[in-house]
Chains A and B, each alone.
Chain A
Amino acid sequence: MKATLGRRLIYLFMMLVVSVPLITNYTVRPAEMKAANQFYSLVENLSVGPNDIAFVAFDFGPNTKAENEPQAEVIVEHLMRKRIPLAVFTQYAQAEGFLTSIPERVAERLMKEMPGEKWEYGQDWVNLGFRPGGALFVQAVAKSTNIAKELDKDAFGASLLQIPAIQNVRTLENVKLLTQFTGLVGVFDTYIQFFQNENYVPSFGHGCTSITIPEAYIYLDSGQLSGLLEGIAGAAWYSELLLQNNPQRAPDAALVINTALGVAHLAVIALIILGNLVAFVGSQRRPS
């Protein structure tokens, strides 16, 4: 009974502690992330021709939304700021809602920030929807000689040959960047393995959840990844980089979530130290 009560008190304590920065909207400057810097430089220095595009895979659902959604938002924002056309799609059915909401939200925010400028569906981005098939789908795109024709229609049933953002995309060489956000290692592997042809491998940026960070470093070290966003911390630092280079930009949720996460970490460390102290003192008092 005593142990159960203690456990509940810890849950309550954690919730209260984490709520403070969320209620007050308090943010601290996030820690610099080397891999996120790499990702930023990759997008910033990307040179695209009139027929080129960036592919953005939202392979995440509500279960990893906390980390993957802010990552996806900052990358979509950066691509839109650079006026690089992008195609969003998913191999994970539950991500369908994000394919519509994230680009629309980012475009809306940018248009508010820069009155007079326009970001439109079809011109700046295209929603390819849910694409089942796993490795077979990825291979089909990589080997295609007419990607727009191969993918056929967008999520709303319109022919891709009529959509300016993608109508002239022919081969994999036109895909200058692939970015993928997921908590699922299996889906990520299919791009590493098959999104390439004999002569060309597009630059690949990845956003992972905190759980898979140690594994993602292997791909970063081997050069298979050109950039990485490590959980919410990576998204927060990327957001900070966007803010530094666009001072008029309004801060986003990534910074607040990252601050609250930092507070949660401090609380966990404090509780571990306290728990060990209590256990140590208790063992000293107990008769041997």
Chain B
Amino acid sequence: MNISWEAATVLIGGVATLAIYSFLIKENPFYRFFEHLFIGIAAGFLPVYTIKSFFWPRVLEPMLGYHIQVYPDGTPTAEYDTKILFYILPMLFGLLYYFIYSTRFSWLSKLVIGFSLGYSGGLAFKGFFAEMVPQLTSSFKPLLVPGESGMDWAMSFQNMFFVFTLLAVMYYFFFTFQRKSVAGDGVAASGRWLMMVCFGAFFGSTVMARMALLVERLQFLLHDWFNEISGII
């Protein structure tokens, strides 16, 4: 029997899917084995793939000059670029992090930590404004929207509801001083209820996403896997 690489992938994929779904019956060694296999693959994939597709071809290979081939007449395909050696400096700086394990030189690791905090803070600061400012400005909506003939009441109501929801939810999280008025409590309670509606929408969409996963797996089992199995039998 001759099974192609693609067919073997599909066959193993089907067995792995069934193993994971077997948990629905009860916890069992078959499920446990594949669970560990998945965790192992997921954990190992990123470092290996980062080295294979990025660190080796883009950093180490050009640094070691392995990307340069030599023609039979002795001419190299490219000149070695010495500027690539500057990559060593940030690498050495990053390696200072490991001094965290030394009592005497742990201050060296703090340089790296400080640098990371600084650049992360700078990115977050810039990112916050780039992300939030358009959302803030778009929340200033006209409460009365003029339509082609008279008012566009549907859009006006939508905007009013949006602004009320925004203010009510913000007011619910306003804890600077105690709320005493009945109206204030009412607005805060509305904010809470509106959030509940939102959480309901989140839950509904989560169920939808999980069902989509089930549908895709069943489609794989019923078509791809079943076809491979029936081909072998």
Contact = CB atoms under 8 A, between A and B. Distances in A.
Interface of A: 8, 11, 14-15, 18-19, 22-23, 63-67, 93-94, 96, 129-132, 135, 152-153, 155, 157, 183, 189-190, 192-194, 196, 209-214, 218-219, 221-224, 231-232, 253, 256-257, 260-261, 264-265, 268
A130 B49 contact: yes
A265 B204 CA distance: 10
B134 interface: yes
Interface in B129-163: 130-131, 134-135, 137-138
Contacts of B209: 64, 67, 183, 209-211, 231
A11 B218 contact: no
Contact of B53 (A67, A96, A209, A265): A96
Q: Considering the complex of A and B, which 10 residue pairs feature the smallest CB-CB distances, nearest first? A: A66-B216, A193-B127, A210-B209, A210-B208, A222-B138, A264-B211, A222-B135, A93-B49, A260-B215, A210-B205
B201 interface: yes
Nearest to A195: B130
A284 to B, nearest CB: 27
Contacts of A218: 135
Nearest to A233: B208
A19 B123 CA distance: 47
B229 interface: no
A8 B218 CA distance: 17
A63 B38 CA distance: 11
Interface in B212-233: 212-219, 222-223
Nearest to A129: B53
Contacts, number: 123
Given A67-B209, A265-B208, A260 B219 contact: yes
Given A19-B218, A223-B138, A268 B49 contact: no
Contacts of B53: 93, 96, 129-130, 155
A129 B49 CA distance: 11
A213 B218 contact: no
- In which size bucket is the chain B interface? 35 or more
Contacts of B217: 66
B215 to A, nearest CB: 4
Contacts of B219: 22, 253, 256-257, 260
A60 B217 CA distance: 16
Contact of B135 (A11, A96, A135, A224): A224
A220 to B, nearest CB: 10
Contacts of B95: none
B205 A193 contact: no
B46 interface: yes
A213 B205 contact: yes
Contacts of B135: 218-219, 222, 224
Chain A residues touching B, majority SS: helix
Interface of B: 24-25, 42, 45-46, 49-50, 53-54, 57-58, 123, 126-128, 130-131, 134-135, 137-138, 198, 201-202, 205-209, 211-219, 222-223
Nearest to B198: A214
Contact of A130 (B54, B138, B214): B54
A196 B205 contact: no
Contacts of A157: 57
Nearest to B62: A152
A153 B57 contact: yes
Given A96-B53, A214-B198, A261 B211 contact: yes
Given A193-B126, A196-B130, A232 B212 contact: yes
Nearest to A192: B131
A135 B127 CA distance: 9
Contact of B201 (A93, A190, A214, A261): A214
A15 to B, nearest CB: 7
Contacts of A210: 205-206, 208-209, 212
B35 to A, nearest CB: 14
B97 to A, nearest CB: 18
B211 A194 contact: no
Contacts of A94: 42, 45
13 contacts: A18-B211, A18-B214, A66-B213, A157-B57, A209-B212, A210-B212, A211-B205, A214-B201, A222-B137, A231-B205, A260-B219, A264-B214, A265-B208
